[in-house]
Amino acid sequence: MMQHFFSGALCNTVSCLALLADEHTDENDMMADDLWKPKAAQIEKEALEASRRIHQDCKCPARIPRPVPEFRAGVAELDITPSKPHYLDGYYTDRLSTGVHDPLMVKALVLDDGRTRIALVVMDAIAYFYDWVVEARKLQSAVLPENIVICTTHSHSAPCLLGVFGPPGKSVDPEYVRWIGQQTAKAIEQAAANLKPARLGSSEARLPVENGEITGVGRNWHNPGVVDPTILVIRIVESGSNHPIATIINHGNHPDVLGDRTTVTSADYFGYIYPQMTSAMGGTTLIFNRALGGVEPIGQGENNLAKAEAHMKRIADIVSANAIQAAQSVQWVESPRISIRKTRCEFPMLSKEMQEVSGRGISPVKPKQGVEITEMSLIEIGPAQMLTVPGEAHPEVAFKLCDMMSARYRFILSMADDEIGYIVPAELYNPEGIQELLSTGQDNEFVVLSAASRLLGVNGYVEPECLVGKKSRLPQ
């Protein structure tokens, strides 16, 4: 009885709702010609315009036919040693070169998994500004410009490019800047032409640390006792034959053993690592600087050439030995996948020193509306993540970034695609410090961490042990 009651009530309710809907529809139908057709036409117009804009601005992944493409790698290197005397960078003395101690090179490694092709480039130079990076990328057609990262080793015995050091307004040679951009583009194209089926292996080593210093290698003068002894290695060989193609080393330190009165062109102690690695592992060695901010080599600033050479050889021996050991025990991946994504970064030029340098026209690049516009990238290659940083990351900043990363091997590529100066942790910031003055300003770490958060999709990091209990010292 109760069931029949509810069933009848439900039917009556549905009938009433249907009647109301019919009445509502009739009312809308009477307004259709006056209202909905013009509105629909406007929506169609806007949708078509949006569709055209989306197809113009966005890229759809290409459809790749089977079989699954092979992972391939190719490498090339070209000389960028100047053919005439030039001012050397990195010190406040005017050093006109008198000879070449060892050659400066630009090296390009192109990697292709059949879906994505990237180029990792490193040159023996103190810096290479973002505007120059953008132009160099356009000079080649082998790799999409947005898939190219150009880093520098930061040698202080390479030609002046910063504009801060050497005779004001005269130290940077525009002709040399154009030439190394052309050499960079050629190296990328040659590396792409050299692509061969390959496999890749990654490994990690730690340099010995004693009394807060990397033994025989480097120390942190900005925050004594805090060092990053990590060495990461990627070894790439041809499939089948195991013929060596390239070895990537990620190691952090300033290459400035040669002092402010030396006048020879050099890659500094990196120039001693290259032949040792090539002799032991074959192929081309690319060194990407890691956490170099505040870190100096043992024997930094040596003006006696014989003593400087001894220091450089000692450091190279230690770094090479550990890198070789790591390279001989890599974990191989037969078909690593590649991805790259970028994010735009704006660094306000708050440093009074750099404001003056820019205002006087000494710097070869100028801020745009008070900010230096650049970018950061996240590259993933098999079990490795590479986070690029457009300046000199301090070890404490590298620790924060590495905690945000999740891969087995976490590379920090400093001096990537720009040079904004030192990236000092907020907890150690000194407004009158030389490293703070020689940078765009106090927002450097904030912008870098924010960009890393966007790239990695991570909202926080565990504070490094060396900063526990320390608070931000940034000016309010």
Position 30 scores a pLDDT of 52
**What do you get for the CA distance between the two ends of the chain, in Å?**
77
Share of the chain above pLDDT 70, in %: 93
Position 365 scores a pLDDT of 86
Please write down the long-range contacts of 6-14, taking CB distance under 8 Å and 24 or more positions apart.
none
Position 236 scores a pLDDT of 98
Closest Cα partner for 103 from 193, 217, 183? 183
Rounded mean pLDDT of 234-251?
A: 97
Share of the chain above pLDDT 90, in %: 86
Rounded mean pLDDT of 195-211?
A: 97
On whether the CB atoms of residues 467 and 445 are closer than 8 A, the answer is no
CA distance linking residue 8 with residue 406, whole number of Å: 62
Q: Which residue has the higher pLDDT, 179 or 8?
A: 179
Q: Which residue has the higher pLDDT, 326 or 4?
A: 326
On whether the CB atoms of residues 268 and 316 are closer than 8 A, the answer is no
Model confidence at 19, pLDDT cuts 50, 70, 90, reads very low
Q: Which residue has the higher pLDDT, 380 or 25?
A: 380
On whether the CB atoms of residues 375 and 342 are closer than 8 A, the answer is yes
Position 6 scores a pLDDT of 40
Indicate the range of 251-255, 399-403, 437-441 predicted with least confidence.
Answer: 437-441
Q: At 228, phi and psi to the nearest 5?
A: -115, 100
CA distance linking residue 102 with residue 98, whole number of Å: 13
Indicate the range of 4-8, 149-153, 352-356, 372-376 predicted with least confidence.
Answer: 4-8
Rounded mean pLDDT of 432-449?
A: 94
For residue 450, give both structure tokens: 């924010």
Indicate the range of 96-105, 297-306, 309-318, 351-360 predicted with least confidence.
Answer: 351-360
Position 1 scores a pLDDT of 43
Per-residue model confidence as pLDDT tens digits over 66-82: 887 899 999 999 999 99
Q: Kindly report the average pLDDT of the chain as a whole number.
A: 93
Rounded mean pLDDT of 409-419?
A: 98
pLDDT at residue 26 is higher than 90: no
pTM: 0.91
The set of residues, in sequence order, having a beta carbon less than 8 Å from that of 435 and lying 6+ positions away, is 222, 293, 294, 421, 422, 424
For residue 435, give both structure tokens: 């490293």
Pairing between β-strand 244-251 and β-strand 284-289 as defined by DSSP bridges: parallel
CA distance linking residue 201 with residue 233, whole number of Å: 8
pLDDT at residue 286 is higher than 60: yes
Model confidence at 18, pLDDT cuts 50, 70, 90, reads very low
Model confidence at 165, pLDDT cuts 50, 70, 90, reads very high
pLDDT at residue 223 is higher than 60: yes
pLDDT at residue 9 is higher than 70: no
CA distance linking residue 145 with residue 162, whole number of Å: 24
pLDDT at residue 7 is higher than 60: no
For residue 211, give both structure tokens: 């009394």
CA distance linking residue 217 with residue 228, whole number of Å: 11
Position 22 scores a pLDDT of 52
Rounded mean pLDDT of 237-244?
A: 96
Model confidence at 32, pLDDT cuts 50, 70, 90, reads low
